[in-house]
Amino acid sequence: MSGNHSQARLTRVCQPGGRRVACRFRFEAMRVAIAGGHGQIALRLARLLSQRGDEVVALIRNSDHADDVRQTGAVPAVVDLEHASEDDVAQAIAGSDAVVFAAGAGPGSGPKRKETMDYGGAVKLIAAAKQAGVRRYVIVSSMGADPDAPGDDTFSVYLRAKGGADEAVRSSGLDATIVRPGGLTNDPGTGRVRLGERVPRGQVPRDDVAAVLAAVLDSPNTIGKTSDLISGDAPVAEAVAAI
């Protein structure tokens, strides 16, 4: 990894609980930049990372969202990824150990914004990461993402944009992980998931997607991997370790 914590080493973290002390191993605190920082998954991820001691920078396009970001423990950076220059994005993520692309045009947006945001935004973040010397790149994609998905409807355009972004990330030369959640829900997270190169279609709470992303950032074994994600039976840590 690159940035201020490039010499991060594995440390033992113990949390007392009743008569037991739960211990786990993780890398020392890292600095993570999240694109799409006001999104529902991004806010959950920022809170998880901040709570475990990581430094989080959330890229947002609307300064009105800054307080929401601060409440998670993250530092807001107002950068409109869709229209900002690569230099501006690189400056915003400078010093980070990892970037997470959790941005998207969002529901209700038309086909054009799927191309400029879901694909174009991801590609711009790749260029900015390279410019800033950030090696680690995690992208939130979608089950069914396919650069050759047929159809002219907005959802088909979305799947092509996501699939194109995945291919760009995969071929970027960065230490990349692609996470492809199924249908997203706001149900409380269960902490149990199913991850794999090909899993049946299903749903997954946004809470659990954020937990998987947090674990992926700590797991070098996920570099170079693409995994579908739905609810399942395996604890998040075990599922990520088995990727």
Task: Kindly list the structural domains of the chain, giving each domain's residue range(s) and its CATH number in brackets, ordered by start.
Answer: 29-241 (3.40.50.720)
pLDDT at 41: 97
Report the pLDDT value the prediction gives residue 27, as an integer from 0 to 100.
54
Indicate which residues carry an active-site annotation: 158
Mean pLDDT by 10 residues, the chain (243 residues): 41 43 62 97 98 97 96 97 95 97 79 83 97 98 93 91 96 97 96 95 97 96 97 97 94
Q: What is the pLDDT of residue 2?
A: 41
* Strand bridging mode 192-196 / 234-235: antiparallel
Q: What is the pLDDT of residue 13?
A: 46
Q: Which residues contact residue 145 at a Cβ distance below 8 angstroms, ignoring those fewer than 6 apart?
A: 159, 162, 163, 165, 166, 180
Around Cβ 200, how many Cβ atoms within 10 Å? 10
CA distance 85 to 102: 19
Q: Write down the pLDDT at residue 14.
A: 45
CB distance 198 to 236 below 8 Å: no
